[in-house]
Amino acid sequence: SQTIHQWPATLVQPVGSPLSLECTVEGTSNPNLYWYRQAAGRGLQLLFYSVGIGQISSEVPQNLSASRPQDRQFILSSKKLLLSDSGFYLCACRSRDRDTGELFFGEGSRLTVL
């Protein structure tokens, strides 16, 4: 079965500082990978998704970027954080082997920008 590791779990960053969140997947090959953000009491907002190495689709224009340097590695970055970037960030994976296509999520990273 697939597992998703995401880190760091919690971080507090000043406005204008850089960001790097990392996600790795085990137990599946060539998965679809996703970065979501969840604001307090809100639904999941899709930020980026990737169907393969180097292939990134952006859903929302913002100061964030994503990269997929390896098949099972997905990175979310920012050069300069804004206050509005605070939230709960979730990496998710969908295996191509499963008919139902459900997403599996990493543990999440809670970002507070001060």
* Number of residues counted as binding other proteins (CB under 8 A): 17
Q: Under the criterion CB under 8 A, does residue 105 sit at the interface with other proteins? A: yes
Return d(Cα 91, Cα 9) in angstroms, integer. 12
The minimum distance between CB 77 and other proteins, in angstroms, equals 21
When binding is defined by CB under 8 A, the residue of 14, 43, 54, 69 that contacts other proteins is 43
Return d(Cα 52, Cα 87) in angstroms, integer. 26
In the complex with other proteins, the residue whose CB is nearer, 15 or 24, is 24
In the complex with other proteins, the residue whose CB is nearer, 16 or 26, is 26
Q: Under the criterion CB under 8 A, does residue 66 sit at the interface with other proteins? A: no
Return d(Cα 87, Cα 83) in angstroms, integer. 10
- Cα dihedral across residues 27, 30, 32, 36: positive or negative: positive
